Amino acid sequence: MGFWSRLFRDKLSLAGLAIVLAFFALSILTPAIAPYDPSAIDVDNILAPPSYAHIFGTDELGRDVFTRMLYGAGISLKVGFVAVGIAVIIGAFLGAISGYYGGWIDIVIMRFVDIMLCFPSFFLILAVIAFMEPSIFNIMAVIGLTSWMGITRLVRAEFLSLKERDFVLAEKTIGASAPRIIFIHILPNAMGPVLVSATLGIAAAVLTESALSFLGIGVQPPTPSWGNMLTQGQNVLGIAWWLSFFPGMAILVTVLGYNLLGEGIRDAIDPRLRQ
């Protein structure tokens, strides 16, 4: 049974995939389907509850919450994909070098990984952001630069196993260079666990971006983000519950979708489940 057959057989994985694809489609189609301008102020509809005209209500400036959530989805997913992309590039490169060469190179890289893991990731991100101007680009870079350690360990472990395989020994016999063996022959075969880690990492990046924006050091208003929408909603939670409820549910559903998909991918590539 192939990878896709095993993945599609799992109903929870399919649910996760459907959620991921739905939010991805919404983020792409936002300019076409958003009913209002996300920054349009309407003083006649301040804190209006959900209605036919504003299905998720309006905020303290009369802006449509549904529209702002659509644009916020694009921000959150962009942060997730770019941050994880940075982490995968760094982690895969260092893990490949460490696992293939071994020796003192392996010792130096893995001790550096151990040092980085000693720092709580979120507090490390807070410390770095405190010295930088809050912006979406800085958020993506900082999250990516502080979340590569797990991928490094995964790739290193795969390389330690794969570099002793016959196809690698055959390449060495015919005189293939080390970079060719590492990046053309071994690394593609070591990316299965990385795919799982990357999928789960997107969920973690979305949560981190939302937390930073909630604290006021992430995506800055008036740019809509699910995190800063939660911040705006907490001050009027007693009279405008929809300002916190809908962005909170969006974060919950998105993270749940990526986690379900990641678990499904992990089960699908697990050799013990192959028939």
pLDDT of residue 1: 55
- Structural domain includes residue 86: yes
Nearest to 257 by CA among 26, 3, 5: 26
Q: Maximum CA pair distance of the chain?
A: 77
Domain CATH for 118: 1.10.3720.10
- Structural domain includes residue 14: yes
List the domain range (segments joined by +) for residue 221: 3-29+50-273
pTM summary value: 0.87
Burial label for 173, CB within 10 Å (0-12, 13-18, 19+), is exposed
- Structural domain includes residue 178: yes
How many structural domains compose the chain?
A: 1
- Structural domain includes residue 35: no
- Structural domain includes residue 44: no
- Structural domain includes residue 163: yes
Query: Model confidence over 64-119: pLDDT tens digits?
Result: 999 999 999 888 888 889 999 999 999 999 999 999 998 899 999 999 999 988 88
- Structural domain includes residue 45: no
Residue 267: C-alpha distances to residues 12, 194, 198 (Å): 11, 13, 15
- Structural domain includes residue 146: yes
